[in-house]
Amino acid sequence: MADSIAELIFIPAPGVGHIISTIEIAKLLVTRDHQLSITVLVINPPPTFGSGSAITTYIQSLANTTMDRISFIELPQDKTRQDSKAPMAAFTDFINSHCKHVRKIVADKMSQPDSGRVAGFVVDMFCTGMIDVANEFNVPTFVFFTSNAAFLGFKLYIQTLSDNKNQDVVELSNSDSTISVPSFVKPVPTKVFPTICQSQEGLEFVLGSARKLREAKAIIVNTFLELETHAIDSLSKESTIPMVYPVGPILNLEAGAGKASSDDDIIAWLDTQPPSSVVFLCFGSMGSFDEDQVKEIANGLERSGHRFLWSLRRPPSDQTSRAPSDYEDPETVLPEGFLERTAGIGKVTGWVPQVAVLAHVAVGGFVSHCGWNSLLESLWFGVPSAAWPIYAEQQINAFEMVVELGLAVEIKLDYKKDFFNPKADKVTAEEIESGVRRLMEDNKVRTEVKEMREKSRAAVLEGGSSYASVGRLILDVKRNIL
């Protein structure tokens, strides 16, 4: 790192949907500016994620990677921590328990004469507690927001409602109404609010995180102007919100997380299918369903008559484990005879190489949990989505895609199944069948998505909106040390 004049300290959150895009923006920054170097401080996931999970595999792969001007340091994990508190407070404590290690590493760095000068921290939206550490060293913090601008606006607006307008957001979140949110053109139904806002404990987490976001020097968002024109515009008009840099789509188009030998089988199977004929179902790193729901999906798919590739994952076995895993034998949860009846036109699998699947010419539609990375990936490849949100902010993402932007069809916008709401309502086979039919047969959405595909690619090329935004971000970073 001897030639670099500015070093950034990156702190990603330990989730697949967070760390992959964070490493990609790190790569982009050092490619765009040869005077920049980056040290990534890696927080390992808590033990409850399981040792074979995609995130663990991805982190292990980083340890064996050499990247020019990017180095990785895995942070030690505090073994004596007690997770007896409410879940979100425990999560904040878990992240913040790494502050002391970050402090030590940065202090060591600053005492070395040959290292580049630390120009700032770039921390994940869930690691904003690190802003306090950056402040101790008198360096600015840039937050990397791995979701969309509309949701960023939502989060900040919720905090304004609670802190400045004295509104009871928990009550609002549990009501059945709509509210006007500046980052959306259309009124937002309260039924698509994240479940986390429905309890005081969860809301406190959102509010705390929104307050910290306002302390950042700037917020880097994985989105692009042509996709979220209104949301980005509304954020930039608000003087109390830090500068927003839309830099996306930031995607890992090469490997993807958790590469396995079964990946080749999946691609080989897709090779045998006609163009745009296959519905791909995948529900993110944490999505899974109980057996009843699995049977409804199977029946819905069978009735739709469409070809399918289904990433089917087993729910965590107990409260101590958070992440789903692959079934040894999915037949045990599928309707009797399903696999024989659909042989040749359908494939059921576990974790998939999602980017490679979406890139495949045989894939014609994507039933998605609406994780933001998944949506950006599907737009990049021009594959329309059917929205079936599950956890986190996915209901808001789904609302944005289906209602606000007309870039997806609906399966069920207010489906919720997560830590705060473990017992979800069932989505019936009829609803799934009709969603899949609309997905595969609605040409309006398909045409819009194809246009957005071109815009997403243009945004990151020289002359594109995100390319320019990254340039401005780099100037902003370097301004701190020049």
- The contact set with ligand UDP (CB under 6 A) reads 15-17, 20, 256-257, 282, 284-286, 311, 351-355, 371-374, 377
Give min distance, CB of 171 to ligand UDP, in A: 28
Task: Give the 3-state secondary structure of residue 180.
Answer: coil
Dihedral (C-alpha) 347, 352, 355, 360: value to the nearest 10 degrees? -20
Give min distance, CB of 175 to ligand UDP, in A: 26
Give min distance, CB of 147 to ligand UDP, in A: 8
Give min distance, CB of 377 to ligand UDP, in A: 5
Query: Which CB atom, from 140 or from 324, has the smaller least distance to ligand UDP?
Result: 324
DSSP conformation class of 459: H
Query: Which CB atom, from 16 or from 133, has the smaller least distance to ligand UDP?
Result: 16
Pair type for strands 218-221 and 243-246: parallel
Query: Which CB atom, from 15 or from 364, has the smaller least distance to ligand UDP?
Result: 15
Give min distance, CB of 354 to ligand UDP, in A: 3
Give min distance, CB of 391 to ligand UDP, in A: 7
| Listed residue (247, 284, 257) closest to 371, CA to CA | 284
Listing DSSP states for 369-428 in one string gives: ---HHHHHHHHHTT--EEE---STTHHHHHHIIIIIS--EEES-TT---BTTB-SPPPPP
Query: Which CB atom, from 235 or from 355, has the smaller least distance to ligand UDP?
Result: 355
Write out the two tokens for 323: 């992440």
Task: For the chain, give the number of residues.
Answer: 482
| Listed residue (455, 436, 306) closest to 379, CA to CA | 455
Give min distance, CB of 452 to ligand UDP, in A: 17
H helices, E strands: number in the chain: 18, 17
Report the 10 Å Cβ neighbour count for 331: 14
Query: Which CB atom, from 223 or from 354, has the smaller least distance to ligand UDP?
Result: 354
Angle at which helices 372-380 and 16-32 pack, to 10 degrees?
60
Query: Which CB atom, from 224 or from 372, has the smaller least distance to ligand UDP?
Result: 372
Are the C-beta atoms of 388 and 302 separated by less than 8 Å? no
Pair type for strands 117-124 and 141-145: parallel
Query: Which CB atom, from 311 or from 465, has the smaller least distance to ligand UDP?
Result: 311
